[in-house]
Structure 1
Amino acid sequence: MAALTGGEMCVKYLMFAFNFVFWLAGTGVLAVGLWLRFDHRTRNLFVAEDAPSGFYVVVCILIATGGLMMLVGFLGCCGAIQESMCMLGLFFSFLLLIFTVELAVGIWGFSVQSKVVDDVTQFYKQTYDKYKQDKEEALKEILHLIQYGLNCCGPFSTPEDLETPEETCPKREGLDVLITKSCPDAIEKFFTSKLHIIGAVAIGVGVIMILGMIFSMLLCCAIRKTQEIV
């Protein structure tokens, strides 16, 4: 079997480098998913009764995709170093699958963005109304975490309408009382800022995946050529 040429060796190590970056990108996607899952401002949305399902699905997809990307990046690195056509073929197949899923999820995510915000807002309002009626400790804890986490108080737009019990809201003094932030507004702002981060990560990952598929095919062709030369 002939050895790879200088240019093909360059492709090999570029393949390794891009897969290492892809592995890091998978770590980033997984980190964003875990951040949304365990952030003190959002974690109760997963365990509470009537929790919004749209947000739960998006976060679970991010976590699963990030973990799979890390696995595939590791597979690509090993395939490049070992010059294994089998591993590189598996890498290309998994990468194409992930890219297709990411594209579909991205389109779906942008299409349901407003629904996710509406679901979370509705969940907050229902929790607020139930706590006013039942005074359950579990509901109080959820309100406390959401309102302290987002630095907001109540579903109302003006302080004059505010009826939320003070024990669930951030403590304010002086003129701060007059500029109390509405929780529905705070929820919308929070998820909009997260969407920008997720979108930026997704675009970067998509570019890396396309480059990875190109380099994997180039390297596979180079390895096959060397195997055919006796």
Structure 2
Amino acid sequence: MGTEEKTNTCGTICLKYLLFTFNLIFWLAGGAVAAVGIWTLVDKSEYISLLASSAYSASAYVLILAGVVVVATGILGCCATIKEHRGFLIVYFVLLLFIFLLEITAGVLAYVYYQECFPLCYQLSDELRVNLKEKMVNQYQQPGQDHVTQAVDKLHQDLKCCGSNNFTDWRDGEWNKALAGDRVVPDSCCKTPSDLCGRRHHPSNIYNVEGGCISKLEEFILQHLQILGGVGIGLAFIQLVGMIFTCCLYRSLKEEPY
């Protein structure tokens, strides 16, 4: 009898350490997820401002919210483990299961969206083709549109492209009428930006890629969909380990005498 009680106690201690370690990793992962959401809003806000839809900024806020929930869940898991409180363990298990289902759903949706999008990505192209060219040629360097100007310049340089479809887009719109001068493209289209370098549109001087910035943006977003889908599904299955540890600890505590 004494040996059985000792075995249960040792098993419980091992489970507590395992679950506590898992919670620590889970807590750090939640912080990382929230950080990715914040980074998306801060570092990619220029790209987001070029899109009429709020779907992409909303996804960043969802990441931040998910990270906060994961952090809170990890803290609850640590408290439940240290206190050996079965009620907290049940709540913790339910939260893990809820986040698990969300991650599986998000991962599957990202994968399905990628399969439907690739290679033409109709939904994304429709939005970009309607809004990107209009914002570029009509709002670039216009009064009160500094955020659009910065976004377009950053888009040109980061993704190494010029214009929404190609550099000829800059022949139309308000920028060409009033601000271009003898330039055919903005200076940010140049491979080595400098004042008035946009006067030459030769491929040796400017970025001239097939499909323009639209194709580059599509490629950028689709790559991130793949990554997010894979990470979401991968983390979801890792959470299965945490749920198994939680169930085992709950049963161990239930079987031990008080």
* Worse-matched range after superposition: 87-96 or 166-175: 166-175
Q: 1:207 corresponds to which letter in structure 2?
A: F
Q: Deviations over 1:170-208 (max 9, x none)?
A: 433585336523211211221123223323321331122
- State yes or no: 1:135 paired with 2:165: no
1:78: which partner in 2? Answer: 79
Q: Which runs of 5 or more structure 1 residues have no equivalent in the other structure?
A: none
CA contact (8 A) 1:83 1:223 kept: yes
Match of 1:52 in 2: 53
Q: Look up the match of 2:88.
A: 87
User: What letter is aligned with 2:74?
Assistant: G
Q: Which runs of 5+ in 2 are unaligned?
A: 118-122, 172-179, 193-201
Match of 1:208 in 2: 238
**2:57 partner amino acid:** Y
The aligned counterpart of 1:189 is 219
Greater relative CO (CA pairs within 8 A, separation 6+): 1
Q: TM-score of the superposition, structure 1-length normalised?
A: 0.81
Q: CA deviation at 1:223?
A: 0.8
Match of 2:15 among 11, 15, 18: 11
Cα distance, 1:148–1:54 mapped onto 2, change above 3 Å:
same
In the alignment, residue 156 of structure 1 is paired with which amino acid? Answer: N
Amino acid at match of 2:188: C
Q: Which has the larger radius of gyration?
A: 2
Question: How many Å separate the matches in 2 of 1:95 and 1:190?
Answer: 31
Question: Quick one: which amino acid aligns to residue 172 of structure 1?
Answer: K
SS in 2 for 1:169: helix
**Structure 1: how far apart are the matches of 2:104 and 2:243?**
15
String of CA shifts for 1:63-119, please: whole Å, max 9, x gaps.
Answer: 111111111011112211221112211111111111122222333334445435653
The residue number in structure 1 matching 2:159 is 150
Which residue of 2 is the match for residue 25 of structure 1?
29
Separation in 2 of the partners of 1:51 and 1:156? 17
Q: With the length of structure 2 as denominator, give the TM-score of the two structures.
A: 0.73
Q: Equivalents in 1 of 2:26, 2:241: separation in Å?
A: 10
Instruction: Single out whichever of 56-65 and 212-221 deviates more from structure 2.
Output: 56-65
- Hey, what does 2:45 align to over in structure 1? 43
Distance verdict in 2 for CA 1:58–1:120, change over 3 Å: farther
The equivalent of 2:208 in structure 1 is 180
1:154–1:183 CA contact under 8 A, matched in 2: yes
CA-based RMSD of the aligned residues comes to 2.8
Q: 1:24 to 1:194 in 2, by over 3 A?
A: same
More deviation, 194-203/211-220 = 194-203
After superposition, the C-alpha distances for 1:110-155 in whole angstroms (9 at most, x for unaligned) are 44454356535543223124337x9345132332232233232102
For this pair of structures, how many residues does the alignment match?
221
